[in-house]
Amino acid sequence: MFYSFKILSELKDSKARTGIIKTKMGDVNTPCFLPVASQGAVKALTHRELEELGADMILSNTYHVYLRPGLEVIEKFGGLHEFISWRKPILTDSGGFQIYSISKLAKVEGEGVYFSSHLDGSKFHFSPEKVVEIQSVLNSDIMMVLDYFVPYISPYEEVKYSTELTVKWAERSMEAFKRWNKNQAIFGIVQGGTYRNLREYCAEKLKEMDFDGYGLGGMSIGEPKEKMLEMIEVMNEILPEEKPKYLMGSGTPEDLFEAVERGVDVFDCVLPTRNARTGTIFTSLGKVIIKQKRYYDDESPLDPNCNCYTCRNYSKAYLRHLYVSNEINSSILNTIHNIQFYLDIIKKIRQSILLGSFEELKSNTLNLKKEMI
């Protein structure tokens, strides 16, 4: 069987659970964090480094790899795994987020979305069916349906329209998937903004379609954190317990704990890699802004509680020097640490659920001083 999800352990006093996603390219232990490789590469890291850090699955983006290098090249190689030489699972997003992130270059109609390429302005069209077809060529392990959401705060009628269109596109995606699928899984995406009734409507409709898993989309776009957590609870009340839940694009360390407690199994976020390149480092003692002058001659490692290559070998003083000198190694070493930090947190979360100590881990982690160090 090329895809399955099995719950291994659950907590009695919350919805936190561990599980395993089985795919054609290997197993993924959940809860899991997916480093973002939009164009087939996690910025500043090689695949070997990713494997050594313990990444089980990465996320690539249909919109980006469709434009560059293009489907012809990837098809010639036999799929995205072969093209990028990554021998573990890949989840591909649909391009729906780009409707939001480059909205000035996107025009949504009932049949799909018309894009103007952010690279050269060329025009192309994504329909739900075409997005499934593209991801079938990519041969990712998990594909996402084309979805549509609008900015927070948008008028209710606009959110309602985007939610209804997401449901229609999900239906068309599932029909196309049945025609194209070979050995992949497909996840639906629940939309609805911060409106409880719209989230409930979308979740109910997608539940009826019996997807392999469900993405919780349109979050972390400016809404209050309490609203995001409320919407997670709303959707988890409706979506089938035996299917994995994926909180898309949200991922502060606090988000991981709060969402796992509410039943989320899969995460992705650009925060660890993007922040690493801009000199913001996550540590067990708080954030480090490495460009600050106080680290000029600091002999200590980024994080005394971290065993990553960066922390074992380099001082804050040297890492500051690399950053202010605009050296490429700054991005590499900072990213190694930040990805290790995230993967360590999610591993500790899994272990704490198995041991029944999740609440203790959450409390100890989130109660550490939050100020910059």
Which residues are known to be catalytic?
93, 268
Side by side, the strands of the sheet bearing 4-10 are 4-10, 17-23, 26-30
- Which pair of structure tokens corresponds to residue 362? 């959450």
Rg of the chain over all Cα atoms, to the nearest angstrom: 20
Bridge partners, residue 10, by sequence: 17
Helix count and strand count (H, E) for the chain:
15, 16
Residue matched to tokens 């072969």:
82
Residue type at position 186: I
333 neighbors 322 (Cβ within 8 angstroms): yes
- Which pair of structure tokens corresponds to residue 324? 């202010």
Torsion angles phi and psi, residue 367, rounded to 5? -90, -5
How many residues does this entry show for the chain?
373
Closest CA to 205 of 151, 232, 197: 197
277 neighbors 335 (Cβ within 8 angstroms): yes
- Which pair of structure tokens corresponds to residue 320? 């500051």
Bridge partners, residue 107, by sequence: 114
Is residue 152 classed exposed, middle or buried when 0-12, 13-18 and 19+ CB atoms within 10 A define those classes?
middle
Residue type at position 269: C
